[in-house]
Structure 1
Amino acid sequence: MTQTQARGPLAGKGAVVTGGSRGIGRAVVERLAADGATVVFSYARAEDRAREVAEAVAGRGGTAHPVRADFADPAAARRLMERADQLLEGLDVLVNNATGPLAPTPLTEITEDDLDRALNITVRAAFLTIRHAADHMRDGGRIISVSTLNTRRQAPGLALYTAAKGALEQLTTVAALELGVRGITANTVSPGATDTELLRGSNPPEVLERIPALTPLRRVGQPADVAAVVALLTSPDAGWITGQNIPATGGLS
């Protein structure tokens, strides 16, 4: 057990973040650790990146444990949570951030294997981590799922991505209804255009150049912007917020 941070609003708390080696997930890991939590985070394949995140957190006095878990494997989520039980003194925060590829694909070109992979990574893994949290999370805990503005702002080619994220939103809403009696809150955060590899890899340069003009704040969101909203929902002051879908879009709607 290494849950030893002594300062911050999450001091003494244990957190699990899925998909924590890059982008929004990395920013969430770093923010929760900075707020005092001991964090267990999953990565699919890039061990060097995961190690870099853990070292960056340690350099700032925090603790983050990388655990390999490729959610395309249906058993990976269960193994992740079992490992988290070993590494944490208790589970207080669960952030479901892992997601499948975002590359736009027409409905007619989506294969059954594509569907299975997307649902395994985004929905099945979250179902299993939330179910584990229902049994093991301490009273007053926090569940946050990272969805997307695109479940409300649809675009051609995003059927698979948004279908999976929509299911994630519904899982989280039901968790709020079922776990509220124990003071556990469950909310969704829906980022808009956020400067990540996922965004840059799925949009041509001319689209990326237009994004700042679409937001009242006239810029592209940063992973830390989304992590700040997640951190707000984990704080003691957010105990009366549950069952909600919080846009983290810079006003993009």
Structure 2
Amino acid sequence: MHQSNGPRGPGGRRLGGKTALVTGAPRSIGRAIAEALAEEGANIVLHYRSRETEAHEAAEAIRKLGVDVLPLSADLTRSSSVQELFDLAIAHFGGLDIVVANAGVASRLQPVAEISDAEFDRVLAVNTRAVFYVLREAARRLSDGGRIINISSSSTQSAGAGFGAYATSKNGANATIRTLAKELASRGITANSIHSGAVGDGFLAAGDGALSPEMRQYVAASAPAGRLGEPSDIASVARFLALPEAEWINGQALVVNGGSWI
């Protein structure tokens, strides 16, 4: 990682002097990850696509943690837009040490036989192609000793009726992460996926992936703790993977779902 200060950076924080790009960061898991990395001293490139107000609110909150924050809008489904995102981030901070590929969309819960071409293309455009563009650019531009963290889904680990399009779209990036772990190891870069279970806000609360109250209760009951996940549950794992102590974890799929589908 560039601007290395040993185990702890300025102010004693373990990521002091580092810079992290978090995609899909205005709210929910993305914002929680950005805040967790900022708490360790990392400067933040806070990517958003259309949630400008929320992005700037998140940026202001993160600045109060004593780090620099650069909110940037980009359409990740366009490779040129992803390249420009990295260009602007590196021009501002001088380099990138951590890339968290978090941006994604939910799919409608429906049997595979009922998924339309348009719905399949919509979900793959963001969850597969756009994530690939981000991971590819990270491989090209990340500083030696860096960290790549992909936010995936535990639905790729255990089959669930209605998740055909979503699980398929998420599995593409999982394969890319394993490949990058081997290709980038000689540069000291690690690449891992966090396979998140159901989180109570974000996808599940609104939009195409929203669950009925009955389904939310059912999903919560599937975890031994009897609750849905919180963004902080995922962010704490992302924080650890970004730290120097995690350098021997590479190419792994960490399932973070409270023990659901054991």
| TM-score, structure 1 as length reference | 0.92
Per the TM alignment, residue 30 of structure 1 is displaced from its structure 2 partner at its CA by 0.9
Q: Does 1:239 align with 2:243?
A: no
Per the TM alignment, residue 236 of structure 1 is displaced from its structure 2 partner at its CA by 0.6
Q: Does 1:52 align with 2:53?
A: no
Per the TM alignment, residue 159 of structure 1 is displaced from its structure 2 partner at its CA by 1.5
The aligned residue for residue 130 of structure 1 is: 135
The aligned residue for residue 24 of structure 1 is: 29
Per the TM alignment, residue 153 of structure 1 is displaced from its structure 2 partner at its CA by 2.2
1:219 counterpart (211, 216, 227): 227
Per the TM alignment, residue 233 of structure 1 is displaced from its structure 2 partner at its CA by 0.5
CA deviation map 1:191-217 (0-9, x unaligned):
111122211232110111233332222
2:195 counterpart (190, 194, 202): 190
Within a 5 Å distance, the mapping from 1:191-210 to structure 2 comes to 191-201=196-206, 202-210=210-218
Distance (whole Å) between structure 1 residues aligned to residue 253 and residue 200 of structure 2? 21
Per the TM alignment, residue 150 of structure 1 is displaced from its structure 2 partner at its CA by 0.4
Asked if the contact 2:76–2:133 (Cα under 8 Å) also holds between the matched residues in 1, the reply is no
Distance (whole Å) between structure 2 residues aligned to residue 237 and residue 88 of structure 1? 24
Q: Does 1:42 align with 2:8?
A: no
Asked if the contact 1:74–1:120 (Cα under 8 Å) also holds between the matched residues in 2, the reply is no
The aligned residue for residue 6 of structure 2 is: none
Identity of matched residues, %: 37
Runs of 4+ residues over 6 Å off in structure 1: none
1:252 counterpart (250, 254, 260): 260
Distance (whole Å) between structure 2 residues aligned to residue 155 and residue 185 of structure 1? 30
Asked if the contact 1:72–1:117 (Cα under 8 Å) also holds between the matched residues in 2, the reply is no
Letter in 2 for 1:125: A
Aligned residues: 250
Per the TM alignment, residue 138 of structure 1 is displaced from its structure 2 partner at its CA by 1.3
| Secondary structure at 1:154 match in 2 | coil
Asked if the contact 1:26–1:53 (Cα under 8 Å) also holds between the matched residues in 2, the reply is yes
Q: What residue ranges of structure 1 are gaps of 5+ in the alignment?
A: none
Per the TM alignment, residue 108 of structure 1 is displaced from its structure 2 partner at its CA by 4.1
CA deviation map 1:5-41 (0-9, x unaligned):
8331111111111111111011111111111111112
Per the TM alignment, residue 63 of structure 1 is displaced from its structure 2 partner at its CA by 2.5
CA deviation map 1:96-133 (0-9, x unaligned):
01112233134344333333332221222222222222
Per the TM alignment, residue 53 of structure 1 is displaced from its structure 2 partner at its CA by 0.4
The aligned residue for residue 68 of structure 1 is: 73
The aligned residue for residue 150 of structure 2 is: 145
Asked if the contact 1:195–1:221 (Cα under 8 Å) also holds between the matched residues in 2, the reply is yes
**Do the aligned partners of residues 105 and 66 (structure 1) sit closer, same or farther apart at CA in structure 2, a change above 3 Å counting?**
farther
CA deviation map 1:46-75 (0-9, x unaligned):
100001100110123222221111334453
CA deviation map 1:207-239 (0-9, x unaligned):
112333322223221101100000110111100
Let me know the Cα RMSD of the aligned residues: 1.8
Distance (whole Å) between structure 2 residues aligned to residue 11 and residue 94 of structure 1? 16
| Secondary structure at 1:190 match in 2 | strand
Distance (whole Å) between structure 2 residues aligned to residue 215 and residue 240 of structure 1? 29
Q: What residue ranges of structure 2 are gaps of 5+ in the alignment?
A: 4-8
1:98 counterpart (97, 103, 111): 103
